[in-house]
Copies of this chain bind each other. A is one copy, B any other.
Amino acid sequence: MRNIRIKITYEGTRYQGWQKQDTSDNTIQGKFETLLSRMCGEEITIQGSGRTDAGVHALGQIANFHTGCTMTTEEMLTYINQYLPEDIAVVEAEEVPERFHSRLNAKGKRYVYRVWNSSIPNVFWRRYVHTVPEELDIQAMKEAAVHLLGEHDFKSFTSTKKGKKSTVRRIDRIGIDKEGDMITFIYEGNGFLYHMVRILTGTLLEVGKGKRTPHSIPDLLLAKNRELAGELVPGKGLVLEEVYY
C-alpha cells in the first residue's frame, strides 16, 4: 500500500468543517473521500492533521491516505483538482513513508485570524474577516498576548466539555500586526484545543476594547473556567495556514 500526503487549501464558507459527519456529506473530508474512492476504485479513508470547524478556511491543511492505486502523484493532483469544487484545491501531492500520519506526526500549527477594524465593511475580504468597528488598543493586546506564550493549561480557552484529555498546550508565538484597517493575529504552537484560537482572539479583542486588562490574563489561565474568557469569534476570520512536522 502506498501512503499519499496532500496539502489542501479551501474556503470554508460553504462547508460544515473538515470532519465527516453521519448526517451530512457537506464536509471537506467527505468531499475528498468520495472523490478519492472514485479515483482509486477502492474505498479511501483520509486522515487530516486536525479538524477545522464550520466556516474556517485552510491554506495548508495536510492529510494523508493509503491506496493501492498506481497513478503518479502528478496525475493524482491533476485528477483531484479537476473534480474538486472551486472552493477546494490540492496544492501538493507526494508519496511518503507508510508510517507517516498527518495528525499524530504533526509537531505544530500556524493559524491566522483576521479582524477588519473599521465601521466601513470590506466587501472583498468579507468572507475571511471578522469586522470590529470599535477602536482597539493594539499595544494592550500585545501585552496580553505575552502572558499566553509558553506551556499552559488552556482549559479556560476551549469549548470542550469535561474530559480526561489534557488541555495543556504550548504557544510559541502570537503576532499581532496592523496594516491599514486589517489586524492579523498569528498563532504558532504545538497544538490547539477545540475553539482555542477563536476564544483567544475574542479575549484579546476584549483587552483591545479596554474591557479587560493585559494583567488579567494570568488569573484567567489559572481559573481553568471557560465562562471567564472572552467570546468565541466567528469561524470565517480563521485560516489554518501551516502544519509543521
Interface residues of A (CB under 8 A from B): 9-11, 57, 59, 77-78, 81, 86-91, 119-124, 126, 128
Contact = CB atoms under 8 A, between A and B. Distances in A.
A10 B9 CA distance: 25
B123 A81 contact: no
Given A10-B123, A86-B123, A90-B120, 9 more contacts: A9-B123, A9-B124, A11-B123, A57-B124, A77-B120, A81-B121, A87-B123, A89-B121, A89-B123
A81 B90 CA distance: 37
A86 B9 contact: no
Contacts of A119: 78, 81
Nearest to A88: B123
A82 to B, nearest CB: 10
A78 B128 CA distance: 23
7 contacts: A10-B123, A81-B120, A81-B121, A87-B126, A89-B121, A89-B122, A91-B120
Contacts of A128: 124
Contacts of A81: 119-121
A219 B121 CA distance: 46
B11 A124 contact: yes
A68 to B, nearest CB: 26
Contacts of A90: 120
